[in-house]
Each structure stands twice: as C-alpha cells, then as structure tokens.
C-alpha cells in the first residue's frame, strides 16, 4: 500500500516535470550578467515586501513578521549566541602549536572582513568561503581541520561576523571567465529543483518567504547569508552555513552534498553577491 503511494507520487512527479520542461523551452540562453541579476533580485524582494526596510532583509524570518521581530528584539538583550561568540573570540586569539594565530592568515588580522567572503581565488580557480579559509588556515599551521557542521566552526565564524556587523556585503566577481562560471553554477544550483519533493532553494526562499512550513517561517533569499552563523532553538545550538545547506537539502528528500563541495561554495557565492550592499548581521538567533 505504502509502496503504491510512493510510486504514484514518483510518476506524478515525472509527469509534472515533463510539463515544466516543455514550458521552459522558449527561454533563450543569454549571457551571464551578475550586475543585472543582483538588481533584479533585490527589486523582486523590495517590491514583494514594500514595508520591509531594505536593511531588515538580513534578519531572515524576523523581517517577515512584526510579532516575531518583537520577540527577537527582546531576545537580543540576552542573545543565545553569546556563548559561541565568547568561545570564538577566545579561539581566535589563542595561538596554534606553532605560535601563529588565525589573524596571520587573514587580511586585517581577520577583523571586520566577513563581508568579503566568499571570494573567488584566481590561483585556485575556485570560490573560497570563510569556513574553508578558516580550515585552510588551520591546516597550513599544522592543525587538524574542524567539522564544517559543528560548534567550533560556528564559534569562529560567529566571532568574525560579529566584528563585521553593519558592514555592507561586498562580493567581487573578478574579470575571469572561471569566476563568472562559478557564479552561474551557483545560480543554477539555487534554482534547480531536487529531491523527491521537487523543490529548489527558490521554491521556498523566493516563492514562499514569510509563509510557514511546519513550525517555521521561511526566510527571504535576499540577504539570507548575512546573519550566518545562527543559533537555533531547534538545534539547541549554533549552525554554520554548511549545516544549514545540508538541512535544507534533506528537507526536500535530496541527499545533501558534502560540506564545501563546489556546488555549495558556488551557491554561497551567488547568494552573497546578490546581497551586495546589505549589512552583515551575524551571528543570528532563530526561534
């Protein structure tokens, strides 16, 4: 019985997908234009939510709902990420075994630079996220890398975000065809439907922000990374960007990719680029 239902669902999905496919044939392939993309992306949200102040989009679900926003502002008096922030600060200033620190790996000693990540590394030919840069710093100094989905990484990125609060996101796409390709790949990943539920990131965070899914209010895609990492009561702890991507993939019954896989790096690049100009607000706290 259960099997029949699943299979029916599977074939219904195939039929639907076939329709969707037929309908999209008309759109011609045109060239990648990130500046125009970012403008259209921001305008879409500004028009859809005319009452939300532009800089408020970076507060995820709280930008969508006045009641929630009030609860959040009360919470900010005793923020639940404080513990992670203190831990991150401590970790950041504690020397590695070789005597160096994280500050030696980053521009400006790692302070106030969150808004420049991820960046495109022309030597490697790939996108480098803050989480990746932190682990590379550790490995370059003879330390074992941290898990991308656990507390240590969340604490470090929380501290780095905190020192950058209020700075406008400032992602560059250098004049390098590989950078443009990475951006385009991130965009493709963001809009591609996946999982048995046939959802893309956009199905939830573009088409349905402000709506509730189970007990949660969906965050708008605009500025969706500015508050990372986040504390979530549901996780009873902090979550990194990697952890969030993995969780979102699983929700659609798609097997998540490895943290810091090319697709995840590229989608982070895309989402950050289209949020250029909006302030860093991390670390965030969620209900």
Partner 1 sequence: MKRSLALAMLLVMSLAPSARAANEADYKAAYAAAEAASKEAAGMRNQWTVTVSALAAAKKAADGGDFDRAVAAAREAEVLAKASIFQATSEKEAWKAMEIR
Exactly one of 218, 238, 246, 278 binds ligand HEC (CB under 6 A); that residue is: 218
Please tell me whether residue 225 binds ligand HEC under the rule CB under 6 A: yes
Q: Tell me the CA end-to-end span of the chain in Å, nearest whole number.
A: 38
Q: Provide the binding-site residues for partner 1, judged by CB under 8 A.
A: 3-4, 6-8, 10-11, 13-15, 17-18, 20-25, 27, 29, 37, 40-41, 44, 187-188, 191-196, 198, 200, 202-203, 206, 250, 253-255, 257, 263
Exactly one of 114, 187, 244, 265 binds ligand HEC (CB under 6 A); that residue is: 244
Among 161, 151, 127, which residue's Cα sits nearest to residue 280? Answer: 161
Q: Of ligand HEC, partner 1, none, which one sits near residue 267, judging by CB under 5 to 8 A according to partner kind?
A: ligand HEC
Among 148, 178, 177, which residue's Cα sits nearest to residue 245? Answer: 148
CB of residue 24 to partner 1, shortest distance in Å: 4
Rounded distance, CA 248 to CA 153, Å?
A: 19
Set 105, 201, 204, 248: catalytic member: 248
CB of residue 195 to partner 1, shortest distance in Å: 6
Please tell me whether residue 161 binds ligand HEC under the rule CB under 6 A: no
Q: Which residue is nearest to ligand HEC (CB)?
A: 60
DSSP character for 232? E
- Do 271 and 221 form a contact (C-beta atoms < 8 A)? yes
Give the SS3 label for residue 217.
Answer: strand
- Do 148 and 133 form a contact (C-beta atoms < 8 A)? no
Exactly one of 82, 213, 253, 258 binds ligand HEC (CB under 6 A); that residue is: 213
Rounded distance, CA 132 to CA 145, Å?
A: 9
In the block, residue with structure tokens 């030696």:
104
Rounded distance, CA 171 to CA 269, Å?
A: 8
Q: Of partner 1, ligand HEC, none, which one sits near residue 114, judging by CB under 5 to 8 A according to partner kind?
A: none
Q: Which residue, 187 or 205, has its beta carbon nearer to ligand HEC?
A: 205
Question: Do the strands 216-217 and 237-239 form a parallel or antiparallel pair, or are they unpaired?
Answer: unpaired
Q: Of partner 1, ligand HEC, none, which one sits near residue 227, judging by CB under 5 to 8 A according to partner kind?
A: ligand HEC
Give the SS3 label for residue 16.
Answer: helix
Query: Which residues make beta-bridge pairs with 279?
Result: 168
Is 105 a known active-site residue? no
Which residues contribute to the site for ligand HEC (CB under 6 A)?
60-61, 199, 201, 203-205, 213, 216, 218-219, 224-225, 227, 230, 244-245, 248-249, 251-252, 267, 284, 286
By annotation, the residues acting in catalysis are 248
């Amino acid at each position: 019985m259960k099997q029949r239902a699943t299979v029916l669902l599977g074939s219904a999905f195939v039929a639907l997908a076939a329709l969707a496919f037929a309908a999209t044939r008309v759109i011609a392939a045109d060239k990648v234009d990130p500046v125009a993309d970012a403008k259209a992306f921001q305008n879409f949200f500004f028009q859809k939510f005319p009452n939300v102040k532009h800089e408020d989009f970076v507060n995820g679900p709280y930008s969508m709902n006045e009641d929630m926003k009030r609860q959040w502002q009360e919470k900010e008096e005793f923020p639940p990420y404080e513990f992670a922030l203190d831990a991150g600060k401590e970790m950041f200033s504690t020397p590695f075994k070789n005597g160096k620190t994280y500050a030696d790996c980053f521009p400006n000693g790692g302070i106030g630079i969150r808004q420049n990540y991820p960046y495109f590394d022309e030597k490697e030919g790939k996108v480098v996220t803050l989480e990746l840069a932190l682990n590379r710093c550790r490995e370059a100094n003879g330390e074992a890398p941290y898990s991308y989905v656990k507390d240590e990484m969340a604490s470090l990125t929380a501290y780095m975000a905190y020192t950058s609060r209020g700075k406008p996101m400032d992602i560059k796409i250098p004049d390098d065809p590989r950078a443009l390709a990475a951006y385009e790949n991130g965009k493709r990943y963001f809009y591609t439907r996946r999982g048995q539920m046939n959802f893309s990131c956009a199905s939830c965070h573009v088409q349905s922000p402000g709506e509730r899914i189970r007990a949660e209010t969906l965050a708008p895609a605009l500025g969706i990374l500015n508050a990372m990492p986040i504390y979530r009561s549901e996780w009873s702890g902090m979550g990194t960007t990697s952890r969030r991507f993995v969780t979102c993939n699983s929700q659609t019954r798609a097997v998540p990719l490895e943290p810091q896989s090319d697709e995840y790096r590229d989608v982070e690049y895309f989402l950050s680029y289209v949020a250029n100009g909006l302030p860093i607000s991390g670390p965030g706290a969620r209900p």
